Amino acid sequence: MRDFGDCTVQDFEKLGAFYLGKQTDPSSGALDGELLLYDSKDLTTHAVIIGMTGSGKTGLGIGLIEEAALDHVPVIAIDPKGDLGNLLLSFPQLRGADFEPWVDPRAALERGLSPAEHAQALAELWRAGLKEWGQTPGRIGNFAAAVDRHIYTPGSSAGEQISVLSKLAPPPQETIDDDELYRELVDATAASLLTLTGLSVDPLTSREHIYLAMVIDRSWRAGSVLDLAALIAALQSPGFDRVGVMDLDTFYPPEQRFALAMRFNNLLAAPRFQSWLQGRPIDIDALLYGPSGKPAISIMSIAHLDDDERMFFVTMLLNHLIAWMRKQPGSSSLRAILYMDEVFGFMPPLSNPPSKRLLLTLMKQARAYGLGVVLATQNPVDLDYKGLSNAGTWFLGRLQTERDKQRVIEGLRGAASGAALGGVDLDATLSGLGKRRFLLHNVHENAPVLFQTRWVLSYLAGPLTRDQIRRLTEANPLPAPSEIRPRGAVAEVEVRPLLPPKIKQRFLPANGSTAASADWVYWPRLLASGELTYTNARLKIDEIRPFMLSLELEDDTVNPEWADAEPHDFTVQDLRAEPAAAAKYSDCPAPLAKDANYSAWEKALKRWLREHRALTLYKSPALKESSMPGESERDFRIRLQQLGNIRRDEQVAKLKAKYQSKVTQLNERLRRAQQVVEREETQAKSQKIDAALSFGTAVLGALLGRKTVSVTSASRMGTAVRKAGRIGKESGDVHHAKETLEAVRASIAELDRKLQADVDTLNEAYDAQSEELESVTVKAKSTGIHVDYLGIGWAPFATDEGGRLRPA
């Protein structure tokens, strides 16, 4: 929270401050008008949100995610209830027609309204709610434009499909080298897979778990990527024959290994399970950032899954997230958020499901990498308080039972020092919380704060159905991978065409799934490989890039169009000197059969490589940073945004220090000026009363006509006249005091304008998404272009059941 005294800047959310609501007075419960601005970097020490149904917990979570989006922070949100899909219901125009497709017809009927009338009423309600909390419809537009938003539905085609078991890729080497973390990942993967087959086992005593973990460990250490079919094969023939001091057949007999393999085979064969194998593979980087580097909110909707399937998916997702996290550089600023809307069953206090160890790992280690974890739950008894001792922020809402309240108080006191709680009566405070009211305890602040959550930007329609998710999800087919496809008919011969001996010939490697095919047909292509060397001392570039290109030629080709060539990720060492047995060959185009062509083609290839294979680097004028060779604009913008957030946080601290002393001085002047006004007004009022009494006494004495008081009356009349003269002076003092007060207020307003101008400057300076990047081109010198192979590359194709050729 940023407290600038009477100078409160309303638009700090783009400077690493999340606008979550307004503070409330602990004694009266009324809003005191001060914004609750939460420092985003505080979220790197993680947060927990606890509140019963109806407490406003989901609204707080959605508001927090909205603020992260406005601050260019990506979010992966696990949604067991279906509420977080509401983040896609943002309507900047606030028209009734925008709300109508998402309103509940029964709710409209209960209010005696048609769906259209009910939708219009909701639109007006949202407009009024935003206005009450100092927000405009334009802020909804800013939120929608700041991030990509997607709903993924594992095991279902309702939303964007995400494939969990298309491959079990090994973690990065950094993770494998960390023995404790690597063992946790292997054990969690094995346990989640067994859970999916219906086996709930003890990792320490279960033969199934120990055996499956050993199979996974052996494959990963060998760098192998397992799919479910390969896992089934490995379970029957694991490649090792001892477990501990016992031989494999004694520890786990073949017939029992076969039975375990059959469980996975039945899973693979089940029609319902096919959707688990379809869609995008889990790629944390792609879930956090779009193709252009734009941050994303990726909602993992798992409400449709049963408990075992949920545990499996969450465990696999956390596995990938930890592996991604360990590859990131350290950061003190918030890089990304993992939000889990209902943590029930995933981090319990007593049992140890596979997800628990991974969540505990994140709570302990993610801070160093700038990854914030936010866990929400209705029931505090669902949480492991040892793990939550690592949560620096607690949002506590209305609780259901006295037992829940006492458990929260116990956990909070265990996670915080008495000084940090500021002497707050937790029992009384938690008992008095109403809807949308939360007690915020932040270890980075001096004392807890009571606040009410702001009006969210997204329409809260409630849990989304599968049909609603389907309507929200636009068709977004993955681009097909680049494939080598022959053109025209294939004239198949069983003998390789005879070519001049000077023409180089190699055979492209086939993938594993077709390596055993006996019905191969080789298709000739012009194949080139080599290296490009880029050097630039000023930009500190000394880069060597390999290339491998193949191009299909026609009989009339004279000058190959290298711009149409297919790039490959294999090397010359991967090429085969001999073909597969019993393969057939297509005809060789005439240009490929003339050895005289290759010398001219090599010269043309080098010219093309120099012109079209230049390195393109990007420069940020604002941050004075350049991209690294091979770093895409997307990845560079992601890095810039993270760097910008770090520098922004540093500048915010300086900005706060710069203005804090001035604000303190002005507040003190304001306090003194108010005191002077109050004193002068009191004195002026007293003089008026005193003068009136003096006049009254003098007049009464004159009217009585007593000689004994005539002299006294004359004296009093003179005193009254003198006091009346002082009234004018006191009125002037009041006027002067008020002028001083207004001058101080004007100085505060001017300081606020200067502060806002500095804020706007920082907003523009550190917004990597909108900055216009400069591009720098570095070409390879002629002497830095080396072609080590230019010849024919025979590309394998396999014949499918319909007699069609498919790339092998």
Contact indicator for 31, 22 with CB cutoff of 8 Å = yes
Of residues 270, 249, 253, the one with CA closest to residue 198: 270
Q: What is the mean pLDDT of residues 154-172?
A: 85
Q: Say yes or no: 158 and 40 in one domain.
A: yes
Is the pLDDT at 701 greater than 70? The verdict is no
Average pLDDT over residues 197-220: 85
**Residue 460: pLDDT over 50:** yes
At residue 771, the pLDDT reads 85
Question: How many DSSP H helices and E strands does the chain contain?
Answer: 21, 25
Domain identity same for 744 and 801? no
Beta-ladder partners of 649: none
Residue 288: inside a domain: no
Is 129 strand, coil or helix?
Answer: helix
DSSP string, 265-327: HHHHH-GGGGGGGSSEE--HHHHHB-TTS-BEEEEEE-TTS-HHHHHHHHHHHHHHHHHHHHT
- Domain shared by 418 and 447, yes or no: yes
Predicted confidence (pLDDT) per residue in 247-271, tens digit: 988 998 988 888 888 888 888 888 7
Q: What percent of the chain has pLDDT over 90?
A: 37
**Same domain for 117 and 25:** yes
Are the C-beta atoms of 768 and 633 separated by less than 8 Å? no
Q: 796: buried, middle or exposed (CB in 10 Å: 19+, 13-18, 0-12)?
A: buried
Location of structure tokens 């009384």: 428
Q: Token pair of 188, please?
A: 């969690």
Domain at 640, CATH number: 1.10.287
Per-residue confidence (pLDDT) for residue 780, from 0 to 100: 92
CB 37 within 8 A of CB 442: no
Cα separations (Å) of 209 from 233, 251, 280, 545? 17, 12, 28, 44
The proportion of the chain whose per-residue pLDDT surpasses 70, expressed as a percent, equals 85
Would you tell me how many other CB atoms lie within 10 Å of the CB of residue 481? 6
Which single residue is written with the structure tokens 């580097």? 293
**CB 376, CB 41: distance < 8 Å:** no
Dihedral of the alpha carbons of 741, 745, 750, 754, in degrees to the nearest 10: 130
Name the residue with higher pLDDT: 416 or 330: 330
H or E element: which one contains 605? helix 597-612
Residue 246 scores a pLDDT above 50: yes
Q: Distances in Å between the alpha carbon of 40 and those of 9, 368, 451?
A: 16, 15, 17
Task: Supply the pLDDT for residue 473.
Answer: 87
Q: Are residues 5 and 149 in the same domain?
A: yes
Do both 578 and 652 map to the same domain?
no
| Whether the predicted pLDDT of 696 surpasses 70 | no
Residues 143 and 12 in one domain: yes
Q: What is the pTM of this model?
A: 0.73
CATH code at 381? Answer: 3.40.50.300
Phi/psi at 233 (5° precision)? -65, -40
Confidence class of residue 427 from pLDDT cuts 50, 70 and 90?
A: confident
Q: Considering only CA atoms, which of 515, 512, 508 is closest in space to residue 529?
A: 508
Span 526-585, pLDDT tens digits = 999 999 999 988 888 899 999 999 999 988 888 999 999 999 888 888 888 888 777 788
Instruction: Identify whether the C-beta of residue 162 lies closer than 8 Å to the C-beta of residue 279.
Output: yes
Least confident of 412-426, 554-568, 595-609: 412-426
345 falls within a domain: yes
Q: What is the pLDDT of residues 476-496, one digit of tens each?
A: 433 344 444 454 444 455 567
**Exposed/middle/buried for residue 372 (C-beta within 10 Å: 0-12, 13-18, 19+):** buried
Rounded to an integer, what is the distance from CA 297 to the centroid of its chain?
6
| Distances 550 to 502, 506, 547 between C-alpha atoms, Å | 19, 12, 10
Kindly state whether residue 678 falls inside one of the protein's structural domains.
yes
**Contact (CB, 8 A) for 521 and 583:** yes
Q: What residues are paired with 168 via a beta bridge? A: 226
Residue 424 pLDDT level (bands cut at 50, 70, 90): low
Read off the tokens for 164. 């969990």
Measured distance CA(443)–CA(449) in Å, rounded = 12
Instruction: Please state, in angstroms and rounded to a whole number, the distance separating the CA atoms of residues 465 and 303.
Output: 9
Counting every residue, how long is the chain? 808
Residue 206 · residue 352 · CB < 8 Å = no
Q: Is 408 helix (H, G, I), strand (E, B) or coil?
A: helix
Say yes or no to pLDDT of 390 above 60.
yes
**677 in a structural domain:** yes
- Is residue 596 one of the residues assigned to a domain? yes
Is 433 part of any domain? yes
Give the closest residue to 512 by CA, choosing from 258, 793, 796, 264.
796
The reply to whether 772 falls in a domain is: no
In our burial notation (b when 16+ CB lie closer than 10 A, e otherwise), range 699-728 reads eebeeeeeeebeeebeebbebbeebbeeee
Is the separation of the CB atoms in 395 and 431 below 8 Å?
no
pLDDT at 496: 73
Look at 724 and 356; give whichever has higher pLDDT.
356
Residues 337 and 39: their CA atoms lie apart, in Å, by 14
- Other beta carbons within 10 Å of 200: 12
Q: Are residues 440 and 409 in the same domain?
A: yes
Q: Which of 250, 241, 255, 185 has the alpha carbon at shortest distance from 213?
A: 185
Distance in angstroms (rounded) separating the CA atoms of residues 347 and 23: 31
- pLDDT at residue 62, as a whole number: 97
Say what the pLDDT of residue 122 is: 95
Query: Residue 24 domain-assigned?
Result: yes
The angle at the Cα of 52, spanning 51 to 56, to the nearest 5 degrees, equals: 65
Question: Contact 759/11 with Cβ under 8 angstroms?
Answer: yes
Short-list 344, 453, 373, CA closest to 56? 453
According to DSSP, residue 71 is labeled T
* Least confidently predicted of 63-77, 331-345, 633-647, 670-684: 670-684
Q: Show the tokens assigned to 11.
A: 């638009």
Short-list 587, 590, 594, CA closest to 522:
587
Distances, alpha carbon 257 to alpha carbons 234, 423, 685, in Å: 10, 61, 98
Residue 81, CA distances (Å) to 52, 342, 377 in order: 14, 7, 11
Same domain, residue pair 552 and 670: no
Q: Which of 348-357, 631-640, 750-759 has the lowest mean pLDDT?
A: 750-759
Pick the closest to residue 744 from 676, 654, 658 (CA basis).
676
End-to-end Cα, the chain, rounded Å: 59
Total number of domains in the chain: 3
Least confident of 8-12, 355-359, 546-550, 785-789: 8-12
3-state helix, strand, coil in the chain (%, to 5): 45, 20, 35
Q: Are residues 134 and 34 in the same domain?
A: yes
Same domain, 662 and 746: yes
Average pLDDT over the chain, rounded to whole? 83
| Separation between Cα atoms, residue 549 and residue 232, nearest integer Å | 36
Distances (CA, A) of 399 to 139, 249, 395, 434, 698: 32, 55, 12, 10, 71
Three-class DSSP category at 442: strand
What's the average model confidence in pLDDT over 123-134? 94
- Among 635, 652, 605, 623, smallest CA distance to 780 is for 605
The confidence score (pLDDT) of residue 416 equals 56
pLDDT digits (tens, 9 = 90+) for 645-670: 888 888 877 877 777 777 788 788 87
> Is 14 in the same domain as 154?
yes
Predicted confidence (pLDDT) at residue 147 exceeds the cutoff of 90: yes
- Looking at residue 704, its pLDDT comes to 43
Distance CA 16, CA 73 (A): 10
* Structural domain harbouring 104: 1-163+334-477
